[in-house]
Amino acid sequence: MSLVIEEDALWRDVVAALAQKVPVLVGQAITEDKCSLISPHQFYSGGRFITNLDEKAQLKDGDRIALLEGAC
């Protein structure tokens, strides 16, 4: 699936975009306010787990993001 993310977006913005695109994740992997992930869910992108959702996402067109449950 594709998400439209602004150039200066934070990872919280990615959470909100994902909640908009896949609302069934709200309450399961995404908090009700749609700005955080419910533990133990994490994003994985660029060869690393994303631990700070207030960090700039710095995604480029075509980048892939995985939403994982638990630490791998």
pLDDT tens-digit map of 6-55:
989 999 999 999 999 999 999 999 999 999 999 999 999 999 999 999 99
d(CA 64, CA 59): 9
Do 67 and 11 touch, CB atoms closer than 8 A? Answer: no
Q: Token pair for residue 19?
A: 């909640």
The predicted model scores a pTM of: 0.91
**pLDDT tier for residue 70 given thresholds of 50, 70 and 90:** confident
Question: Contact, 21 vs 15, CB < 8 A?
Answer: no
Confidence label for 71 from pLDDT (cuts 50, 70 and 90): low
What does the domain layout of the chain look like in residue ranges? 11-69
